[in-house]
């Protein structure tokens, strides 16, 4: 269902039983799975939402991947652009890996819950079932599955 007032600048694939709510803005090449929610004033750019992912309201999803059953609390921002010029690097086990991309947001594993008004830095990788407390600035890099980030 696409509510009146939503704006989609494709190409975009939208799965069954997905809600694109009033005021949502979807641009770039996006894939949105079955049973997802792109909510009021949520902007999604060049990203993928797997089945059951939800960004109910006031979120920014830029150059990111959301796993199955993820939930972004109101006001969540998945930042995708470094302040300093250059490509986004991802720190994994103490080693920096260059993504080769100027814009790269987050990879959010299955079942991750991100609390309201949290921000992920560019190049954040959240393993499955992580929990991010509200109002948290999530450091870039890899976070093990089931991590609690405050």
Domains of the chain, by residue range, sit at: 7-149
How far is Cα 134 from Cα 142, in angstroms, rounded to an integer?
19
Q: Give the per-residue pLDDT at 10.
A: 83
Q: What is the model's pTM?
A: 0.96
| Cβ–Cβ under 8 Å, residues 138 and 126 | yes
For residue 17, pLDDT over 90 is answered with yes
Running DSSP on this structure, what letter comes out for residue 121?
P
Asked if residue 141 has pLDDT above 90, the reply is yes
Is residue 33's pLDDT more than 90? yes
The whole-number average pLDDT for the span 122-137 is 99
User: What is the pLDDT, as a whole number, of residue 97?
Assistant: 95
Choose the CATH number for 7-149 among 3.40.1050.10, 2.160.10.10, 3.40.50.1110, 3.60.15.10.
Answer: 2.160.10.10
Catalytic residues: 57
Looking at every residue in the chain, the average pLDDT score rounds to 98
């Amino acid at each position: 269902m696409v509510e009146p007032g939503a704006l989609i600048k494709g190409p975009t694939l939208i799965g069954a039983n997905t809600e694109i709510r009033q005021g949502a803005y979807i641009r770039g090449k996006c894939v949105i799975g079955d049973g997802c929610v792109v909510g009021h004033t949520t902007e999604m750019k060049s990203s993928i939402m797997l089945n059951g992912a939800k960004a109910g309201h006031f979120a920014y999803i830029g150059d990111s991947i959301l796993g199955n059953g993820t939930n972004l609390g109101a006001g969540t921002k998945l930042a995708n652009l470094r302040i300093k010029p250059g490509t986004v690097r991802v720190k994994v086990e103490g080693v920096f890996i260059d993504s080769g991309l100027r814009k790269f947001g987050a990879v959010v594993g299955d079942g991750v819950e991100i609390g309201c008004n949290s921000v992920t830095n560019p190049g954040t990788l959240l393993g499955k079932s992580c929990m991010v407390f509200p109002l948290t600035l999530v450091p870039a890099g890899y976070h093990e599955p089931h991590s609690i980030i405050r």
